[in-house]
Structure 1
Amino acid sequence: MPQETLILGLNPAWQRLFFVDKFTPGEVHRISKVEEYASGKGINCCRVLQNLGGTPLLMHFLGADHGSRIFDEVSACGIQQAPVWIKEQTRICTTIVSEGESTELIEPSPVITDFENDDFVQTLNEHWNSAQSVALCGSFPGNFNVKNIEDLDFTGKKIFVDAISNIDSWLEKGVELLKINMPEYSQLLDRLGIPQVKSSPQFWKMTATAVLERLPIKNLVVTDEESPVRAFRLVEKKFQSVTAEPPAVEVQNNVGAGDSFFAAWLYADSMGLSFEECLVKATAVAVARCEVEKPWMLSLERVAELEETIRSGLEKQE
C-alpha cells in the first residue's frame, strides 16, 4: 500500500465551471451548464491521487465561506486535511469551457497575516517529521513567508515540486521531481542564465543537461499542452531523455491536466515504478483527465488503455 503523501496545496480555489456552445469575447452567452466544486492544484492532485489508490494528506489555507465549502467537500470525499484557517476569502476560479478549449478567470490570491503565517508553521510542524513524501503544488497566497518552508529539513524525505515561483531553495537542496510546463521551463532557464536557442535541434539536451548539472534534481519533466511530454535525468552523470506522445482525444475539459500528471507520477513513484513507467502512467492519467469534466471522474480502465498506446511510442535518447 502506498505511503501517505503530504500535499502542500497552499493556494486553493472554489471552481466555477461554465459550459457554452461557443465563447466569443464581447458577446452575451447563454450558459448550457454550470458546475461548482473545490479546486486548485493541491486539491486536484489529491483527488486524482486518491482515485489511483494513494493516500494524500492535504495542507492548505482556507478562508471564509468558500474555504468552509472547500473543507466540507474535500472531507466528504475522504481526504484527510490539515487546514490553516485565514480571515480573507478563498479565491474563486471561473473557467469557461467551449469546443474543448478553456478560458480561466482567476481572482487574486488572499493575503495572509503574520499570525496566520505562524499558524501555518505550527500546523506544518505537526506533520513534517512523520512525512516521508512531500509534494509542493502551485503558488503561494499573498504575504506568505517563504522562509517558513526554505528552512525545512529534507533529510529522509522524497520531495516533489509542481511550482516555479519561490522554490529555488528547495531545488538547491535536491528534489525527486520537478514538473513544470513549457512557459515555466523558460522562466527557470532565464533564472539560471541558460541560453534558449529553441531553433537548435540540441535545445532540449543542452538546456536540460545544464539544469540537471546545476541543480540536484533527480527527474525533470516538462509538459507542453498537446505536445510531447519530455522527461530528463542524469544517471552516473550521463544524460537520459524519454519523450512520451499524448494520444489525440476528444477534450471535455483540460483544466488540471498538469495536476493529474503530477498526482499520477506521485502514485507511480510510491509503487516503485521505473522512470519510464512513471512517465507513461502520468501521461496516460493526464490524457484521461481531459476526456472528462472533472479530474476525479477519470476511468482507471481508460488509463490502462492509454498506457499501452503511450508505452509503445516512447522515444529514448542518451
Structure 2
Amino acid sequence: MITVITFNPSIDTLYKLETFEIGKVQRAGDVKKSAGGKGINVARVLNQLGHSPMCMGFVGGYNGLYIKDEIKKIGLRDEFIKIDGETRVCLNIIDKNKVSTEILESGPIVEENDMIKFERHLENILEETKILVASGSLPKGLPIDYYGLLGEICRIKNIKFILDTSGKYLESAINSHIYMIKPNIDELEALCKCNINNKEDAIKEAYKLLRYNIENICISMGKDGMILVNKDSIYEIKIPNIKIENTVGSGDSSIAGFAYGLLNDYSLKDCLRLSNACGMSNAMNIKTGFIDVNEIEKLFKEIEVLEYSKI
C-alpha cells in the first residue's frame, strides 16, 4: 500500500484566458476546479495507474468538505484529519501562449491537538504502508522539521519514504532517512547553496547530498529529462519532444509513476521510465494531475535510460 500525505491541500481552480492583463476585467473561457495540492495530485495519478492509495493530511471548512467529497468520487481512500480552519484555494491562470501564473494561498493553522490526532492515526495507517509519499509545503502550526520526523518514523518501520518538497522544509528534513527526493534545478541550487550551470554540476551536487543517507537524488530537468544519482550509479533519462498544454502537476505525476513502479517491483530503470512517462502525459493534457494510460504505454517505450558508473 502507498500512503500519500498532503498536509496543505487546496481547491485548485484553473482559468484559461486568451490574454492575462493586470488591472483589467477578463472573462475565463474555460474553468476547471479540482481537489488539489501536490500529494492529492500524486494520489490521483496513482489511482489512474490502478492503485488506490490512502490519503492523509488536514482539511477544514467548506473547502475541506469539497476535497473529501471529490477524492471519494474518484476512489481514493480518505484518511484526512478535520481541523477548524478553512482549507486554501489556489489559482492557476493560463493564457493562449501556455504561460502559467499561479496564486497560492498559505492555508489554515494546524493546532497542537490536530497534530496529535494525525500522529495517532498515522501510527495505524503505517501498519499497512510500504511506501510513504509526502509532498508540498507544511501548513502554519507544524514544526519546520516535521518531514524529518516522518523520515525517522519510516526508517524505524522500514518504509520507503519519498519526499517532494523544497526550501526550508526540504533542508530541515535531509538528515532523516529518505528513500528519494526530487528537486528541480532551482530547488537543488537552493538546497546546496550554489549555482548549477550544467548536468555535470547537478551530478556533483547530488553526490554531496548522499552523505545525508538519502538513497536516491532524482533531479528534474524539465524538457531535458531527469538525472538520478545514488551510491552505485548515475542514471540519465532522455525524453522525446512533446506538445505541452499544462506543466502544473507534472512533477507530482512523475512521483506517482515512480512510486507505482516501486510498489510493483519494477526495475529502477523502469521506475524512471514510468515516472517520466507520467510527468509527460500530465504536461500533454490541460487537466492537473491527469494522465492518459494509452499515452503512457507509448511514451514508456520512447524514453531512454542510460546508466553510468559512479564518478
Q: Retained in 2: the 8 A contact 1:121–1:148?
A: no
| Structure 1 residue corresponding to 2:162, chosen from 148, 160, 165 | 160
Letter in 2 for 1:178: I
Residues 153 and 52 of structure 1: CA distance in aligned 2, closer, same or farther (over 3 Å): closer
Measure the CA separation in 1 of the matches of 2:228 and 2:5.
23
- Deviation of 1:159 after TM superposition, in Å, equals 1.1
CA distance in 2, matches of 1:316, 1:200: 18
Post-superposition shift, 1:200?
6.8
Q: Which residue of 1 aligns with 2:213?
A: 216
Q: State the match for 1:144 in structure 2.
A: 142
Structure 2 residue matching 1:171: 3-state secondary structure = coil
Question: Match of 2:300?
Answer: 307
Shift of 1:153: 5.1
Name the residue aligned to 2:114. 116
1:137 maps to amino acid = S
1:193 is matched with which residue? none
Percent identity, please. 23
Partner of 2:249: 256
The DSSP-based 3-state class of the residue aligned with 1:234 is coil
Aligned AA (1:309): E
- C-alpha distance 315-24 of structure 1, shift in aligned 2 (>3 A): farther
Q: 1:200 to 1:84 in 2, by over 3 A?
A: closer
Alignment of 1:244-283 (within 5 A): 244-283=237-276
Q: Which residue in 2 is equivalent to 1:103? A: 101
Alignment check: 8 A CA contact 1:231 1:243 kept: yes
Q: Specify the alignment match of 1:188 in structure 2.
A: 191
Give the counterpart letter for 1:231 in structure 2: L
Distance 1:180 1:207, change over 3 A: same
Does the CA contact (< 8 Å) of 1:100 and 1:250 recur in 2?
no
8 Å contact kept, 1:181–1:224: yes
Whole-Å separation in 1 of the counterparts to 2:290 and 2:255 = 16
After superposition, the Cα gap between the structure-2 partners of 1:146 and 1:123, relative to the gap in structure 1 and judged at 3 Å, is farther
Q: Work out whether residues 12 and 39 of structure 1, in 8 Å CA contact, stay in contact via their aligned partners in 2.
A: yes
From the superposition, tell whether residues 17 and 271 of structure 1 become closer, same or farther in structure 2 (CA, over 3 Å).
same
Letter in 1 for 2:111: T
Counterpart mapping for 1:1-318 below 5 A: 4-98=1-95, 99-145=97-143, 150=149, 152=153, 154-155=155-156, 156-164=158-166, 165-167=168-170, 170-190=173-193, 196=194, 198-199=196-197, 202-212=200-210, 214-235=211-232, 240-295=233-288, 297-311=290-304, 314-318=305-309
Q: Which piece of structure 1 moves more, 257-266 or 18-27?
A: 18-27
The one-letter code matched in structure 2 to 1:159 is F
For residues 207-250 of structure 1, what are the alpha-carbon distances to aligned partners after superposition, in whole Å with 9 as ceiling and x for unaligned? 121111x1112211111332331111112xxxx22222333222
**Residue 24 of structure 1, CA deviation:** 3.1
Cα drift, residue 7 of structure 1? 0.9
TM-score using structure 1 length: 0.88
Q: Is the 8 A contact 1:160 1:177 kept in 2?
A: yes
Summarize the Cα distance change of 1:159–1:27 in structure 2 as closer, same or farther, 3 Å threshold: same
- In the alignment, residue 187 of structure 1 is paired with which amino acid? A
Counterpart of 1:163 in structure 2: which amino acid? T
* Separation in structure 2 between the aligned mates of residue 297 and residue 220 of structure 1, nearest angstrom: 25
Residue 80 of structure 1: CA displacement?
Answer: 0.5
Q: CA deviation at 1:55?
A: 2.8
Structure 1: give runs of 5+ residues left out of the alignment. Answer: 191-195
TM-score by length of 2: 0.90
Deviation at 1:291, TM superposition (A): 1.3
| Contact in 2 for aligned 1:260/1:295 (Cα 8 Å) | no
Contact 2:189-2:195 at 8 Å conserved across structures:
no
- The DSSP-based 3-state class of the residue aligned with 1:180 is coil
Structure 1 residue runs of 4 or more that deviate by more than 6 Å after TM superposition: none
CA distance in 1, matches of 2:231, 2:115: 37
Q: Deviations over 1:258-311 (max 9, x none)?
A: 000000000011121222211111111101111112245421111111112212
Distance 1:278 1:144 in 2: 32
Distance 1:182 1:76, change over 3 A: same
The CA deviation string for residues 132-179 of structure 1, in whole angstroms up to 9 with x for no partner, is 211111111101145666162523211111113434565333222111
Number of aligned residue pairs: give it: 303
Q: For residues 154 and 246 of structure 2, what CA distance do their matches in structure 1 show? A: 38
